[in-house]
Structure 1
């Protein structure tokens, strides 16, 4: 058996083929340009392998209701040229195999609970903090979806009274993504995040907004573990600040595991989503 996986991001598509033991046999990175050019490159890669199932984790928002006409489509994305693209339809037309379809962050959450930092747990939240902020949820070993998929980066948080920054989110301005995603660091300070001094006060503000969000997720979903990934989380000191502020905000109201084991960094850096898609392909075939 061969499993195909696609981690489809707004910047690049990572495609891979794995065997039954989930060993990756081939992998390629494809720039996300126009849908036509991108899919042609995807087909050129997968046409070389007789895959038995396919897993797709796509940037969103996406249509996930099988009985709805927008199922399998990318919806109102700001990525130019991609709104209303029938992503799943194009792949199923080319490859008539069982196909799992979800968001890139849901796929990453599944990868982390099966092989990463949430391994041996039955529920987790995965939050990626980079150019944007997105979240995926696994409950009882299954990716969570309702009328839509989670859009956890667009939660509103309580603004710091001294924070006058309007926010980067094109839809909501000062939601979590608008106030705490990577671009907000440079927009406030004029310094790229990776070049900011460790003692810069922006890190405390960043940690506070993220801790507020994690508190809300905990009170609503009560996952066994929260996994943080993405480029911004390459800062060791930021994780400790988030853990500290989360503990202060919770104020002992809900009993949780040791915070250093409850809020953790990703166990599959830069590979959570791709590994998740391959595992979801395997699960889809087994169904």
Structure 2
């Protein structure tokens, strides 16, 4: 049975640490999109609300999806739902993200993290099609991760903070890391600012063949190993400016992870890992489409995520 088409006029807000992408969609078809700078909360959220209000005035929006950087309270039952928790982004701690939109719009509003949003989109429409469990990682200004099972994000007391795991370091690596909380957690080792500090210059200017990348590849491989042993995902989708700008890093880390894992589980050899670890198929549309899918889930009255029709269609797709 074919998946039912998604109908309705939806808006998505991908709230990132440096920019906001607001998207208008007819069903799942993007019809208009704008980038806004992320400055202070009042200015940033006000500009996003104004853009959506113009769309809503032209024709009412069915629902709004917000995929936000964090940490942010995503439990609708919490008293501070939709509020930014402590963050190093100046001025954003305590920002009432959902409240800014709920004051203006009467339609359903869904909230999740930006990585969960992108993961939802990749699970339904991209590199995670056909997979029951995927992990979506983004490596850029920071490192974030979302876990999607059966098309829906995994949420507990908070959302996962995969980027702040502290894992085994490569022998001889003395780089201290740059995370203000943990030093050498994954974000402190692999984010764009971390690589700049490690190399002493813009990592985009470092030759992919430079042996200095080996330490970073080892760190990323350790993260892949940890994810495979704890979650056993069908797919690990890795996006963000660092890995998309340095595909050699992803390939090298995948090889290292396979070499380490196959000593214990033969199914996780280099060949298997090269299939499991993938770049995002949706590329820069993963986040915006994820926000739209959050809106679709809110409109249908269910848990934010992939609609049942899309999920059943995705699970019929073949996997490598």
Deviations 1:236-281 (A, max 9, x none): 2112101110011113423247222101111121221111110111
Matched residue, 2:197: 187
Secondary structure at the counterpart of residue 284 of structure 2: coil
1:67–1:279 distance in 2 versus 1, CA, 3 Å: closer
Q: CA deviation at 1:187?
A: 1.0
Q: 2:29 aligns with which of 23, 27, 33?
A: 23
TM-score by length of 1: 0.96
Q: Distance in 1 between matches of 2:251 and 2:289?
A: 27
Q: How does 1:238-249 map to 2 (within 5 A)?
A: 238-249=249-260
Whether the 8 Å CA contact 2:49–2:100 is kept in 1: the answer is no
Matched, 1:250 2:256: no
Matched residue, 2:18: 11
Unaligned runs of 5+ in 2: 1-7, 302-320
Matched residue, 1:137: 147
Q: Distance in 2 between matches of 1:55 and 1:125?
A: 20
Secondary structure at the counterpart of residue 94 of structure 1: coil
Q: CA deviation at 1:232?
A: 1.1
Q: 1:46 aligns with which of 48, 52, 60?
A: 52
Deviations 1:122-155 (A, max 9, x none): 2200000111110011011111101110100000
Unaligned runs of 5+ in 1: none
Q: How does 1:134-173 map to 2 (within 5 A)?
A: 134-173=144-183
Whether the 8 Å CA contact 1:112–1:118 is kept in 2: the answer is yes
Larger CA deviation: 257-266 vs 169-178: 257-266
Q: Distance in 1 between matches of 2:175 and 2:248?
A: 23
Matched residue, 2:110: 100
Whether the 8 Å CA contact 2:217–2:252 is kept in 1: the answer is yes
Q: CA RMSD in A?
A: 1.3
Matched residue, 2:283: 269
1:65–1:283 distance in 2 versus 1, CA, 3 Å: closer
Whether the 8 Å CA contact 1:185–1:202 is kept in 2: the answer is no
* Total equivalences in the alignment: 286
Whether the 8 Å CA contact 1:52–1:97 is kept in 2: the answer is yes
Secondary structure at the counterpart of residue 48 of structure 1: helix
Matched, 1:123 2:133: yes
Q: CA deviation at 1:63?
A: 0.7
Q: Distance in 2 between matches of 1:37 and 1:191?
A: 32
Q: CA deviation at 1:207?
A: 1.0
